[in-house]
Amino acid sequence: MARTLQHAGFSAYVTGGAVRDMLLSIPAHDVDLATSATTADIIALFPGAVEAGGRFRIVLVPIDGQRIEIATLRPASADSASRQHCPHIAGSPAEDAAQRDFTINALYYDPGQERLTDFHGGMADLQDKVLRTIGNPDERFRDDPMIMLRAIRFAHRLGFSIASEAVASIDRHAALIAKVSPERLFAEVARQLTSGQAAGCMRDLCRHRLHAALLPELRKDLLDSQSSFTGLALQSVDDSLARGTRMSASFVFAALLWPQLKRAWDALQKNGWGVMPALERAAHDVCSAQSACLGIRERVAGDIHAIWSTQAYFAIGPHRAGADLDQHPRFRAGYNLFQLRCAAQEVDPELANAWSAQRRR
Protein backbone atom coordinates (compact mmCIF):
# COMPACT_ATOMS: atom_id res chain seq x y z
CA MET A 1 0.00 0.00 0.00
CA ALA A 2 2.87 2.35 0.78
CA ARG A 3 4.38 1.44 -2.58
CA THR A 4 1.10 2.26 -4.32
CA LEU A 5 1.32 5.76 -2.87
CA GLN A 6 4.98 6.05 -3.80
CA HIS A 7 4.35 4.86 -7.36
CA ALA A 8 1.71 7.59 -7.62
CA GLY A 9 4.37 10.16 -6.80
CA PHE A 10 3.77 10.60 -3.07
CA SER A 11 6.06 9.92 -0.15
CA ALA A 12 4.76 7.21 2.17
CA TYR A 13 5.99 5.75 5.45
CA VAL A 14 4.94 3.03 7.83
CA THR A 15 4.94 4.64 11.25
CA GLY A 16 3.51 4.57 14.77
CA GLY A 17 2.78 1.29 16.50
CA ALA A 18 3.46 -0.87 13.45
CA VAL A 19 7.16 0.11 13.35
CA ARG A 20 7.51 0.05 17.14
CA ASP A 21 5.99 -3.42 17.47
CA MET A 22 7.99 -4.79 14.53
CA LEU A 23 11.22 -3.69 16.21
CA LEU A 24 10.07 -5.24 19.50
CA SER A 25 9.12 -8.48 17.69
CA ILE A 26 5.55 -8.39 18.93
CA PRO A 27 2.34 -8.62 16.85
CA ALA A 28 1.22 -5.22 15.59
CA HIS A 29 -2.37 -4.30 16.45
CA ASP A 30 -2.64 -1.61 13.80
CA VAL A 31 -0.83 -0.52 10.66
CA ASP A 32 -0.51 3.24 10.16
CA LEU A 33 0.80 5.00 7.08
CA ALA A 34 1.82 8.65 6.82
CA THR A 35 1.97 10.19 3.38
CA SER A 36 2.31 13.44 1.47
CA ALA A 37 -0.93 12.52 -0.33
CA THR A 38 -4.01 14.47 0.70
CA THR A 39 -7.24 12.89 1.88
CA ALA A 40 -8.73 13.29 -1.61
CA ASP A 41 -5.65 11.70 -3.21
CA ILE A 42 -5.81 8.69 -0.89
CA ILE A 43 -9.51 8.09 -1.53
CA ALA A 44 -8.92 8.32 -5.29
CA LEU A 45 -6.10 5.77 -5.13
CA PHE A 46 -7.83 3.12 -3.01
CA PRO A 47 -11.33 1.83 -3.84
CA GLY A 48 -13.36 1.28 -0.70
CA ALA A 49 -11.42 3.85 1.30
CA VAL A 50 -13.47 5.65 3.94
CA GLU A 51 -12.67 8.98 5.55
CA ALA A 52 -12.82 9.01 9.34
CA GLY A 53 -12.97 11.93 11.72
CA GLY A 54 -11.41 12.25 15.14
CA ARG A 55 -8.68 14.48 16.47
CA PHE A 56 -6.88 14.17 13.12
CA ARG A 57 -8.46 13.27 9.82
CA ILE A 58 -7.50 9.81 8.54
CA VAL A 59 -8.56 7.47 5.77
CA LEU A 60 -9.37 3.82 6.48
CA VAL A 61 -8.50 1.42 3.66
CA PRO A 62 -9.71 -2.21 3.81
CA ILE A 63 -7.21 -4.85 2.69
CA ASP A 64 -7.16 -8.61 3.41
CA GLY A 65 -9.75 -8.29 6.15
CA GLN A 66 -7.78 -5.52 7.88
CA ARG A 67 -8.25 -1.76 7.82
CA ILE A 68 -5.10 0.29 7.27
CA GLU A 69 -5.06 3.85 8.59
CA ILE A 70 -3.54 6.42 6.25
CA ALA A 71 -3.02 10.02 7.29
CA THR A 72 -1.54 13.06 5.57
CA LEU A 73 1.75 14.15 7.12
CA ARG A 74 0.99 17.00 9.51
CA PRO A 75 2.61 20.39 8.91
CA ALA A 76 4.32 22.22 11.76
CA SER A 77 1.29 24.41 12.49
CA ALA A 78 -1.21 21.55 12.47
CA ASP A 79 -3.73 21.15 15.23
CA SER A 80 -7.11 19.47 15.36
CA ALA A 81 -8.85 22.54 13.94
CA SER A 82 -6.43 23.23 11.08
CA ARG A 83 -6.36 19.57 10.04
CA GLN A 84 -10.14 19.47 10.00
CA HIS A 85 -10.42 22.47 7.70
CA CYS A 86 -7.18 22.15 5.66
CA PRO A 87 -6.83 18.44 4.83
CA HIS A 88 -5.03 19.41 1.60
CA ILE A 89 -1.93 20.66 3.45
CA ALA A 90 0.89 18.15 3.89
CA GLY A 91 3.96 18.53 6.04
CA SER A 92 7.33 16.80 6.11
CA PRO A 93 8.08 13.61 8.09
CA ALA A 94 10.09 15.70 10.57
CA GLU A 95 7.16 18.09 11.11
CA ASP A 96 4.77 15.18 11.53
CA ALA A 97 7.08 13.37 13.95
CA ALA A 98 7.36 16.45 16.18
CA GLN A 99 3.62 16.24 16.84
CA ARG A 100 3.44 12.59 17.85
CA ASP A 101 3.02 11.54 21.44
CA PHE A 102 6.02 9.36 22.34
CA THR A 103 9.49 8.95 20.87
CA ILE A 104 8.91 5.24 20.25
CA ASN A 105 5.90 6.13 18.08
CA ALA A 106 7.86 8.60 15.93
CA LEU A 107 9.84 6.07 13.86
CA TYR A 108 9.30 6.23 10.09
CA TYR A 109 10.02 3.31 7.79
CA ASP A 110 10.23 3.87 4.02
CA PRO A 111 9.53 0.46 2.42
CA GLY A 112 10.65 1.69 -0.99
CA GLN A 113 14.15 2.55 0.19
CA GLU A 114 14.04 0.13 3.15
CA ARG A 115 15.16 2.97 5.40
CA LEU A 116 14.21 3.70 9.00
CA THR A 117 14.32 7.31 10.21
CA ASP A 118 14.38 8.14 13.92
CA PHE A 119 13.67 11.81 14.61
CA HIS A 120 13.52 11.83 18.42
CA GLY A 121 15.67 9.07 19.85
CA GLY A 122 12.95 6.45 19.76
CA MET A 123 15.39 3.63 19.03
CA ALA A 124 17.38 4.36 22.20
CA ASP A 125 14.17 4.50 24.24
CA LEU A 126 13.03 1.18 22.76
CA GLN A 127 16.35 -0.32 23.83
CA ASP A 128 16.08 1.19 27.31
CA LYS A 129 12.38 0.31 27.58
CA VAL A 130 11.44 3.88 28.47
CA LEU A 131 8.28 5.68 27.44
CA ARG A 132 9.19 9.32 26.84
CA THR A 133 7.10 12.15 25.41
CA ILE A 134 8.31 14.13 22.44
CA GLY A 135 9.14 17.55 23.80
CA ASN A 136 8.07 18.93 27.16
CA PRO A 137 5.52 16.56 28.78
CA ASP A 138 3.68 19.48 30.37
CA GLU A 139 3.03 20.95 26.93
CA ARG A 140 2.14 17.57 25.45
CA PHE A 141 -0.39 16.80 28.17
CA ARG A 142 -1.93 20.27 28.05
CA ASP A 143 -2.32 19.95 24.29
CA ASP A 144 -3.94 16.52 24.54
CA PRO A 145 -4.56 15.15 28.06
CA MET A 146 -5.46 11.78 26.53
CA ILE A 147 -1.74 11.13 26.11
CA MET A 148 -1.54 10.60 29.89
CA LEU A 149 -3.92 7.66 29.62
CA ARG A 150 -2.09 6.30 26.60
CA ALA A 151 1.15 6.43 28.62
CA ILE A 152 -0.38 4.12 31.22
CA ARG A 153 -1.62 1.66 28.59
CA PHE A 154 1.60 1.57 26.56
CA ALA A 155 3.75 1.17 29.67
CA HIS A 156 1.79 -1.90 30.76
CA ARG A 157 1.37 -3.39 27.29
CA LEU A 158 5.08 -3.09 26.44
CA GLY A 159 6.52 -3.60 29.91
CA PHE A 160 8.19 -0.15 29.77
CA SER A 161 8.73 2.40 32.50
CA ILE A 162 7.42 5.93 32.06
CA ALA A 163 10.16 8.57 32.08
CA SER A 164 10.37 10.28 35.47
CA GLU A 165 9.67 13.75 34.05
CA ALA A 166 6.51 12.43 32.39
CA VAL A 167 5.35 10.75 35.62
CA ALA A 168 5.79 14.01 37.53
CA SER A 169 3.89 15.85 34.81
CA ILE A 170 1.01 13.34 34.91
CA ASP A 171 0.72 13.90 38.65
CA ARG A 172 0.59 17.67 38.07
CA HIS A 173 -1.94 17.58 35.25
CA ALA A 174 -4.21 14.63 36.03
CA ALA A 175 -7.23 16.93 36.42
CA LEU A 176 -6.96 17.91 32.72
CA ILE A 177 -8.47 14.53 31.80
CA ALA A 178 -11.87 16.10 32.53
CA LYS A 179 -11.42 18.24 29.39
CA VAL A 180 -11.35 15.22 27.07
CA SER A 181 -14.64 14.27 25.43
CA PRO A 182 -16.47 11.40 27.16
CA GLU A 183 -16.51 9.47 23.88
CA ARG A 184 -12.71 9.52 23.55
CA LEU A 185 -12.37 8.58 27.21
CA PHE A 186 -14.66 5.58 26.78
CA ALA A 187 -12.69 4.30 23.80
CA GLU A 188 -9.38 4.56 25.67
CA VAL A 189 -10.62 3.00 28.92
CA ALA A 190 -12.21 0.16 26.91
CA ARG A 191 -8.81 -0.48 25.30
CA GLN A 192 -7.16 -0.58 28.71
CA LEU A 193 -9.75 -2.95 30.14
CA THR A 194 -9.41 -5.39 27.22
CA SER A 195 -5.62 -5.06 26.85
CA GLY A 196 -4.76 -8.02 29.06
CA GLN A 197 -3.27 -5.56 31.56
CA ALA A 198 -6.48 -4.17 33.03
CA ALA A 199 -5.53 -4.72 36.67
CA GLY A 200 -2.24 -2.82 36.36
CA CYS A 201 -3.73 -0.05 34.23
CA MET A 202 -6.60 0.60 36.63
CA ARG A 203 -4.29 0.67 39.65
CA ASP A 204 -2.04 3.20 37.93
CA LEU A 205 -5.04 5.34 37.00
CA CYS A 206 -5.84 5.50 40.70
CA ARG A 207 -2.25 6.08 41.84
CA HIS A 208 -1.90 9.05 39.50
CA ARG A 209 -5.42 10.34 40.25
CA LEU A 210 -6.42 9.95 36.60
CA HIS A 211 -9.48 7.95 37.63
CA ALA A 212 -11.34 10.90 39.17
CA ALA A 213 -12.89 12.15 35.91
CA LEU A 214 -13.33 8.64 34.47
CA LEU A 215 -14.39 6.23 37.17
CA PRO A 216 -14.90 8.27 40.35
CA GLU A 217 -15.56 5.22 42.54
CA LEU A 218 -12.64 3.16 41.23
CA ARG A 219 -10.10 4.01 43.93
CA LYS A 220 -12.56 3.17 46.69
CA ASP A 221 -13.41 -0.17 45.08
CA LEU A 222 -9.90 -1.14 43.96
CA LEU A 223 -7.38 0.31 46.42
CA ASP A 224 -9.26 1.44 49.50
CA SER A 225 -11.96 -1.22 49.75
CA GLN A 226 -11.71 -4.21 52.07
CA SER A 227 -13.57 -6.17 49.39
CA SER A 228 -11.45 -8.02 46.88
CA PHE A 229 -14.13 -8.05 44.16
CA THR A 230 -12.76 -5.37 41.81
CA GLY A 231 -9.17 -6.58 41.93
CA LEU A 232 -10.32 -10.18 41.55
CA ALA A 233 -12.53 -9.30 38.58
CA LEU A 234 -9.81 -7.38 36.75
CA GLN A 235 -7.25 -10.13 37.30
CA SER A 236 -9.77 -12.72 36.10
CA VAL A 237 -10.31 -10.72 32.91
CA ASP A 238 -6.54 -10.47 32.32
CA ASP A 239 -6.12 -14.21 32.93
CA SER A 240 -8.93 -15.04 30.51
CA LEU A 241 -7.41 -12.87 27.79
CA ALA A 242 -4.02 -14.51 28.36
CA ARG A 243 -5.67 -17.88 27.71
CA GLY A 244 -7.06 -16.55 24.43
CA THR A 245 -10.64 -16.13 25.67
CA ARG A 246 -12.33 -13.13 24.10
CA MET A 247 -13.76 -10.66 26.62
CA SER A 248 -16.33 -8.09 25.57
CA ALA A 249 -16.05 -4.52 26.79
CA SER A 250 -19.64 -4.84 28.03
CA PHE A 251 -18.77 -7.68 30.40
CA VAL A 252 -15.60 -6.00 31.67
CA PHE A 253 -17.46 -2.77 32.42
CA ALA A 254 -20.27 -4.74 34.06
CA ALA A 255 -17.74 -6.37 36.38
CA LEU A 256 -15.79 -3.16 37.01
CA LEU A 257 -18.91 -1.19 37.94
CA TRP A 258 -20.54 -4.03 39.88
CA PRO A 259 -19.55 -2.75 43.37
CA GLN A 260 -21.30 0.56 42.61
CA LEU A 261 -24.36 -1.27 41.34
CA LYS A 262 -24.47 -3.54 44.40
CA ARG A 263 -24.29 -0.63 46.83
CA ALA A 264 -27.20 1.10 45.11
CA TRP A 265 -29.17 -2.17 44.77
CA ASP A 266 -28.73 -3.04 48.45
CA ALA A 267 -29.71 0.47 49.56
CA LEU A 268 -32.93 0.39 47.56
CA GLN A 269 -33.88 -3.04 48.91
CA LYS A 270 -33.31 -1.81 52.46
CA ASN A 271 -35.79 0.97 51.67
CA GLY A 272 -38.44 -1.59 50.73
CA TRP A 273 -37.91 -2.03 46.99
CA GLY A 274 -38.35 -5.49 45.48
CA VAL A 275 -35.34 -7.39 44.17
CA MET A 276 -35.92 -6.78 40.45
CA PRO A 277 -37.31 -3.21 40.63
CA ALA A 278 -34.41 -2.24 42.89
CA LEU A 279 -31.87 -3.70 40.48
CA GLU A 280 -33.45 -2.02 37.46
CA ARG A 281 -33.45 1.37 39.16
CA ALA A 282 -29.90 0.95 40.47
CA ALA A 283 -28.67 -0.11 37.02
CA HIS A 284 -30.27 2.94 35.42
CA ASP A 285 -28.79 5.32 38.00
CA VAL A 286 -25.27 3.86 37.88
CA CYS A 287 -25.13 3.72 34.07
CA SER A 288 -26.48 7.25 33.72
CA ALA A 289 -24.00 8.69 36.21
CA GLN A 290 -21.09 6.82 34.67
CA SER A 291 -22.04 7.70 31.09
CA ALA A 292 -21.94 11.40 31.95
CA CYS A 293 -18.17 11.26 32.52
CA LEU A 294 -17.12 8.23 30.49
CA GLY A 295 -19.50 8.35 27.54
CA ILE A 296 -20.47 4.67 27.60
CA ARG A 297 -22.00 3.87 24.22
CA GLU A 298 -25.72 3.16 24.21
CA ARG A 299 -25.31 -0.38 22.93
CA VAL A 300 -22.68 -1.18 25.55
CA ALA A 301 -24.81 0.38 28.30
CA GLY A 302 -27.72 -1.83 27.21
CA ASP A 303 -25.53 -4.93 27.40
CA ILE A 304 -24.21 -3.94 30.83
CA HIS A 305 -27.78 -3.45 32.05
CA ALA A 306 -28.76 -6.88 30.67
CA ILE A 307 -25.79 -8.60 32.36
CA TRP A 308 -26.67 -6.99 35.67
CA SER A 309 -30.33 -7.97 35.34
CA THR A 310 -29.38 -11.66 35.44
CA GLN A 311 -28.07 -11.21 38.98
CA ALA A 312 -31.61 -10.76 40.30
CA TYR A 313 -32.46 -14.23 38.97
CA PHE A 314 -29.32 -15.74 40.43
CA ALA A 315 -30.20 -14.13 43.77
CA ILE A 316 -33.45 -16.10 44.09
CA GLY A 317 -31.89 -19.49 43.33
CA PRO A 318 -32.11 -21.98 40.44
CA HIS A 319 -35.48 -23.47 41.39
CA ARG A 320 -37.33 -20.16 41.51
CA ALA A 321 -35.40 -18.59 38.60
CA GLY A 322 -36.72 -21.20 36.16
CA ALA A 323 -35.07 -23.24 33.44
CA ASP A 324 -35.57 -20.56 30.77
CA LEU A 325 -32.93 -18.35 32.38
CA ASP A 326 -30.49 -20.16 30.07
CA GLN A 327 -32.26 -18.41 27.19
CA HIS A 328 -31.45 -14.94 28.50
CA PRO A 329 -29.34 -13.21 25.79
CA ARG A 330 -26.62 -12.36 28.33
CA PHE A 331 -26.88 -15.51 30.44
CA ARG A 332 -23.28 -16.64 29.90
CA ALA A 333 -21.83 -13.24 30.75
CA GLY A 334 -24.24 -12.98 33.69
CA TYR A 335 -23.18 -16.37 35.02
CA ASN A 336 -19.50 -15.38 34.68
CA LEU A 337 -20.24 -12.30 36.78
CA PHE A 338 -22.06 -14.46 39.31
CA GLN A 339 -19.03 -16.77 39.53
CA LEU A 340 -16.80 -13.76 40.23
CA ARG A 341 -19.16 -12.76 43.02
CA CYS A 342 -18.93 -16.29 44.42
CA ALA A 343 -15.13 -16.22 44.27
CA ALA A 344 -15.17 -12.91 46.16
CA GLN A 345 -17.36 -14.58 48.82
CA GLU A 346 -20.09 -12.07 48.10
CA VAL A 347 -22.69 -14.81 47.57
CA ASP A 348 -24.15 -17.11 50.23
CA PRO A 349 -22.26 -20.45 49.88
CA GLU A 350 -25.50 -22.43 49.78
CA LEU A 351 -26.79 -20.33 46.88
CA ALA A 352 -23.46 -20.68 45.07
CA ASN A 353 -23.51 -24.47 45.57
CA ALA A 354 -27.10 -24.71 44.35
CA TRP A 355 -26.26 -22.94 41.10
CA SER A 356 -23.09 -25.00 40.63
CA ALA A 357 -25.08 -28.22 41.05
CA GLN A 358 -27.71 -26.98 38.60
CA ARG A 359 -25.11 -26.08 35.98
CA ARG A 360 -23.46 -29.52 36.25
CA ARG A 361 -26.69 -31.31 35.29
Supply the DSSP string of 195-264, one letter for each residue. Answer: TT-HHHHHHHHHHTT-STTT-TTHHIIIII-S--HHHHHHHHHHHHHHTT----HHHHHHHHTHHHHHHH
Instruction: Give percent of the chain above pLDDT 90.
Output: 61
**Across residues 339-353, what is the average pLDDT?**
88
User: Region 38-50: what's the mean pLDDT?
Assistant: 89
Residue 77: per-residue pLDDT: 64
The one-character DSSP state at 324 is G
Residue 83 has pLDDT above 50, yes or no: no
Q: What is the pLDDT of residue 285?
A: 93
pLDDT at 226 over 70: no
| Predicted local distance difference test score (pLDDT) of residue 30 | 78
Q: Is residue 324 part of a domain?
A: yes
Q: For position 87, what pLDDT does the model report?
A: 53
- Cα atoms in the 13 Å half-sphere on the side-chain side of 202: 31
Rounded average pLDDT over 283-291: 91
Query: What average pLDDT score do residues 274-298 get?
Result: 90
In-domain check, residue 183: no
Residue 137 counted as domain residue: no
- 79-83, 271-275, 284-288: least confidently modelled range: 79-83
Specify if 165 maps to a domain: no
Higher pLDDT among residues 358 and 291, named by residue: 291
Q: How many domains does the chain contain in total?
A: 2
For residues 245-259, average pLDDT:
93
Whole-number Å distance between alpha carbons of 310 and 355:
13
Picking from 119, 138, 156, the residue at the C-terminal end of a domain is 119
pLDDT of residue 81: 42
pLDDT greater than 90 at residue 354:
no
For 334-339, the CB contacts below 8 A with 24+ separation are 334/306, 334/307, 334/308, 334/309, 334/310, 335/310, 335/359, 336/251, 337/251, 337/254, 337/255, 337/258, 337/307, 337/308, 337/310, 337/311, 338/310, 338/311, 338/314
Mean pLDDT of 239-247: 93
Rounded Cα gap, residues 324 and 203, in angstroms? 39
Domain final position from 57, 87, 119: 119
pLDDT given at position 317 = 78
Taking alpha carbons only, the member of 166, 171, 159 closest to residue 196 is: 159
Report yes or no on 155 lying in a domain.
no
> Measuring CA to CA, which residue among 132, 129, 133, 134 is closest to residue 160?
129
Which one-letter DSSP state was computed for residue 66?
Answer: E
| Start-end of H helices in 31-163 | 39-45, 80-85, 93-97, 122-128, 137-143, 146-158
Domain presence at residue 133: no
Rounded to whole angstroms, how far apart are CA atoms 103 and 131?
7
* CA–CA dist 167, 253 (Å, integer): 27
The predicted pLDDT at position 80 comes to: 46
Q: Averaged over 97-121, what is the pLDDT?
A: 94
Question: What pLDDT was estimated at residue 88?
Answer: 61
Domain containing 353 equals 223-360
Does a structural domain hold residue 293? yes
Q: Is a pLDDT exceeding 90 seen at residue 322?
A: no
Q: What is the pTM of this model?
A: 0.88
Sign of CA dihedral 282, 214, 224, 234: positive
Nearest to 102 by CA among 193, 47, 20: 20
Query: Torsion angle, CA of 320/322/326/327, rounded to 10 degrees?
Result: -130
> Residue 293 — very low, low, confident or very high, per pLDDT cuts 50/70/90?
confident
Tell me how far apart the alpha carbons of residues 127 and 104 are, in angstroms, rounded to a whole number.
Answer: 10
The pLDDT confidence band at residue 144, using thresholds 50, 70 and 90, is very high
Pick from 71-75, 163-167, 232-236, 326-330: least confident:
326-330
* Mean pLDDT, residues 40-69: 82
pLDDT, position 286? 94
Tell me what pLDDT residue 2 has.
85
Domain containing residue 30: CATH number: 3.30.460.10
SS (H, E, C) 161-206: EECHHHHHHHHHHHHHHHHCCHHHHHHHHHHHHCCCCHHHHHHHHH
Higher pLDDT, 26 or 320: 26
Could you tell me the CATH number of the domain that includes residue 293?
Answer: 1.10.3090.10
pLDDT for 55: 57
Q: Which of 92, 119, 146 is the last residue of a domain?
A: 119
pLDDT value at position 321? 65
Lowest mean pLDDT, pick from 34-43, 147-156, 298-307, 322-331: 322-331
Residue 348 forms part of a structural domain: yes
